[in-house]
């Protein structure tokens, strides 16, 4: 595969919540006197997020573009996720604690295969970018993790007002680096947002499925799979 620029998704492609969100919420609830099983909280969180996404008005951004809009979204997610277990009396302070925590590198871990892959891509003199659906906190998270400066172009939905899978967010990223779509590859874990979105923009795409046993064309199981795909 012959390309000049590689773009990566961020969440569950380069970094993951560590410990998992359910564990963090359960611990925060415990500090408020509410007892909750972390796995149940995690399930409730995932259901809530999916449900709120479904109900979101067409054409609106999940995380908005400002801190206030992002906080409003997370207020809904956190309140509904915690409701069966207990809602703290000072809910704004509770939300703020979680907001600050997930806005720092402390909440996230970088997958082991990220830095070796990025170093090798740099050795091959490829340009690297990120295309992420994330709120206003992503820059701080990536700086804390030492990832921000490793990428030439970072395109965040909250900054540009477009979210994957809209191909326009990929067009936006491509225009910043002056790369034609056919010379760019996008790598991500979401079939809809990353793979369908990037292909609709005319780019190549690799679907990162870390947990899947079966493969197929265009599927990789670890980030180092990118290196092998480029050699083919
Ligand atoms: Mg992702």
Centre of ligand 1 to C-alpha 219, Å, is: 15
Centre of ligand 1 to C-alpha 37, Å, is: 25
- What is the per-residue pLDDT for 59? 77
Reported as a single tens digit per residue, the pLDDT across 116-143 is 999 999 999 999 999 999 999 999 999 9
Reported as a single tens digit per residue, the pLDDT across 65-89 is 999 999 999 999 999 999 999 999 9
Q: Under CATH, which number does the domain 20-104 receive?
A: 1.10.150.720
Centre of ligand 1 to C-alpha 194, Å, is: 8
Reported as a single tens digit per residue, the pLDDT across 164-206 is 999 999 999 999 999 999 999 999 999 999 999 999 999 999 9
Q: Structural domain boundaries of the chain?
A: 5-16+108-231, 20-104
Q: Name the architecture of domain 5-16+108-231.
A: 3-Layer(aba) Sandwich (3.40)
Q: Say yes or no: do domains 5-16+108-231 and 20-104 share a fold.
A: no
- What is the per-residue pLDDT for 164? 96
Centre of ligand 1 to C-alpha 13, Å, is: 5
Q: What end-to-end distance do the CA atoms of the chain give, in Å?
A: 6
Residue 15 has pLDDT above 90, yes or no: yes
Reported as a single tens digit per residue, the pLDDT across 209-218 is 998 877 788 9
Reported as a single tens digit per residue, the pLDDT across 34-68 is 999 999 999 999 999 999 988 887 778 888 899 99
Mean pLDDT score across all residues of the chain:
96
pTM assigned to the model: 0.95
Centre of ligand 1 to C-alpha 35, Å, is: 30
Three state DSSP letters for the chain: CCCCEEEECCECCCEEECCCHHHHHHHHHHHCCCCCCHHHHHHHHHHHHHHHHHHCCCCCCCCCCCHHHHHHHHHHHHHHHHCCCCCCCCHHHHHHHHHHHHCCHHHEEECCCHHHHHHHHHHCCCEEEEEECCCCCHHHHHHHCCCHHHCCEEEEHHHHCCCCCCHHHHHHHHHHHCCCHHHEEEEECCHHHHHHHHHHCCCEEEEECCCCCCCCCCEECCCCHHHHHHHC
- What is the per-residue pLDDT for 60? 82
Centre of ligand 1 to C-alpha 142, Å, is: 14
């Amino acid at each position: 595969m012959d390309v000049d620029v590689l773009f990566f998704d961020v969440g569950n492609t380069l970094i993951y919540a560590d410990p998992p969100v359910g564990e963090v919420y359960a611990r925060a609830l415990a500090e408020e006197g509410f007892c909750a099983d972390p796995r149940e909280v995690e399930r409730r969180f995932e259901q809530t997020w999916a449900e709120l996404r479904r109900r979101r008005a067409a054409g609106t951004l999940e995380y908005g573009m400002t801190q206030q809009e992002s906080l409003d979204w997370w207020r809904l997610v956190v309140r509904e996720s915690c409701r069966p277990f207990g809602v703290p009396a000072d809910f704004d302070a509770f939300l703020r604690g979680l907001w600050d925590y997930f806005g720092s590198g402390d909440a996230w871990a970088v997958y082991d295969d990220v830095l070796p892959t990025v170093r090798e891509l740099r050795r091959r003199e490829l340009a690297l970018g990120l295309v992420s659906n994330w709120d206003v906190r992503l820059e701080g998270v990536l700086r804390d993790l030492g990832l921000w400066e490793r990428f030439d172009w970072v395109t965040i939905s909250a900054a540009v007002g477009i979210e994957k899978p809209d191909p326009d967010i990929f067009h936006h990223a491509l225009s910043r680096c002056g790369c034609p779509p056919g010379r760019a590859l996008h790598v991500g874990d979401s079939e809809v947002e990353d793979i369908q979105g990037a292909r609709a923009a005319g780019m190549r795409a690799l679907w990162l499925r870390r947990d899947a046993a079966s493969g197929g064309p265009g599927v990789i199981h670890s980030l180092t799979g990118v290196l092998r795909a480029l050699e083919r």
